[in-house]
Structure 1
């Protein structure tokens, strides 16, 4: 009976309709959280309350289905996404009415929207790619910080008297340069300094070239490369490795040899029986 229930839960877990229904509930959960930020009538608040109870109970049932359908229960918590989903569901069970942890419980309910990532494989690939790319991006970010620091120091020394609000110290100068890098009204800053230093446009042009063009393209290139690697891993997960193929070939060859040996033994036994029958018939025909 347990095996039948386990098989049914496995089929339900991998059922596309069930996955789409889970995604729909997550979307409804996101809309319900957004609706609570408005001034709602008593009727609407009552509806959102019962809807929140339904979503919480459904997520609990869904996580139990995934846990029971897992072949090896220990492997369920080896996945970081499963741990995250379980933590969100468990903390969502905390009652939020007049509780000291009401704020925490409400915040955790907001994170239920992130469960969309664990359900949709494409989103998981994107997040995994970003996490894998972070160590490689560290050196690019460090180099970008060095460029920011150098240009901020130069800008603070040269333009402090022009506009201390933007260039008063190195920290404020770095914020101003971030504004320049994101092209947020950066021409106003440039023209202000060009009234005093006409060649200051070189300062901005070289900074934008290094940061907005060179380094950001390096970041994009690293992320895209890691995404390609992750997509290749996803495609190759379902394909057998070379060692598995060789093992299967060796197993089939051994089975074929055993079958051929069994056939040879059968033919030899049949031939011996036929010969024995012939000898018996000859002996029976000879006169005594």
Structure 2
């Protein structure tokens, strides 16, 4: 039910040293498109526009009561077209910056952003064009059909996803919630079972009585009454109004309260805090491993990456001031690394980059001792004693 931090770390270690796809590595080396796509000012400007667009969605929802884009006030049409033009330009520049067009669709972030731009183009331009053509050729008698198109305005909610994908901290939180989804569903299922059992009991006890009138006349009514009075006591009036509108609205409101009031704020707050803590710990682990890996790869020759890093080469590399600073920043005891290299190189002449990084990180002061560490230490001591015993026998002979 709860996520295992050690298993997640193992997955990080397994995937970290796989070749990482950097979109800019696939860009052209000449041309204005790749120059704009690489420009940090353009990236910052895009981030600002993403934030403004997310804010504008709320303003538009609150003040624009028109069902269709073409019927919206002029200011809303101008702003929507501005955002649509900017994001279309931005995604086009990124697409044209690639050396090969198919490489763009190997990047998940590009596919995600491209999908959002398509939904924006559909809402702002395509839908407006369809409405204009239908009004021009079909006349006012068929305008009631156009109300169906207002459902496509809901796709604008997906644009907020780009804001989240641009902020690493939000991604950590979303990962934490997604990893805790099993715990959420298990807890909600248990809650509904308890409510169902007691709804049956109270219906049998109070049905037909003055005390149970309007609350315990049936199982479903009893479940609704128990849930509103116990789980959502402060939202009873809101839920009653939603039930009067219709069952779909009631279920949507119930889903909202379960997600916000119950899952995030109350019952599962302890689980989610633990999950977010584990996710942040894994993210810190990944950052530390990347920092050490990149610094070591800068210092060792290219041929040593293939054949392995010898102990002598490592003792030279470890003296680099930049590497020492990097290791100190992630709380690695550099003096212990220098004094006890035989622990890392025991019975081995060379280590690969992943093996060396993993061995170095074992010298962090915050690393906890596991049964595996004790077993490895025991094996190390046994091997050392065997070597010492063999040396003594050879000297006696």
Whether the TM-score (by the shorter chain) exceeds 0.5 is yes
* Pair 1:227 & 2:276 matched: yes
Unaligned segments of structure 2, at least 5 residues: 1-26, 135-145, 237-260, 317-397
* 1:166-215 CA-partner distances (Å, limit 9, x unpaired): 111111111111111222398xxxxxxxxxxxxxxxxxxxxxxxxx99xx
Contact in 2 for aligned 1:67/1:73 (Cα 8 Å): yes
Residue 20 of structure 1 is matched in structure 2 by 48
Residue 205 of structure 1 is matched in structure 2 by none
* Pair 1:184 & 2:231 matched: no
Of the three residues 156, 159, 164, the one matched with 2:203 is 156
The structure with the larger Rg is: 1
Q: TM-score, normalized by length of structure 2?
A: 0.47
Cα distance, 1:108–1:157 mapped onto 2, change above 3 Å:
same
The CA RMSD measured in Å over matched residues stands at: 4.1
**Residue 66 of structure 1: CA displacement?**
5.2
CA distance in 1, matches of 2:164, 2:61: 18
CA distance in 2, matches of 1:172, 1:56: 48
**Residue 70 of structure 1: CA displacement?**
7.8
Unaligned segments of structure 1, at least 5 residues: 187-211, 261-288
Once the two structures are superposed, the pairs formed by residues 238-277 of structure 1 within 5 Å of their partners are 238-240=287-289, 244=293, 248=297, 251=304
CA distance in 1, matches of 2:223, 2:34: 58
Structure with bigger helix share is 1
Cα distance, 1:84–1:62 mapped onto 2, change above 3 Å:
same
* 1:82-103 CA-partner distances (Å, limit 9, x unpaired): 5444323212212223165622
**How many residues are treated as equivalent by the alignment?**
226
* Pair 1:76 & 2:107 matched: yes
Residue 395 of structure 2 is matched in structure 1 by none
Contact in 2 for aligned 1:13/1:65 (Cα 8 Å): no
CA distance in 2, matches of 1:124, 1:105: 27
CA distance in 1, matches of 2:35, 2:284: 26
**Residue 144 of structure 1: CA displacement?**
1.3
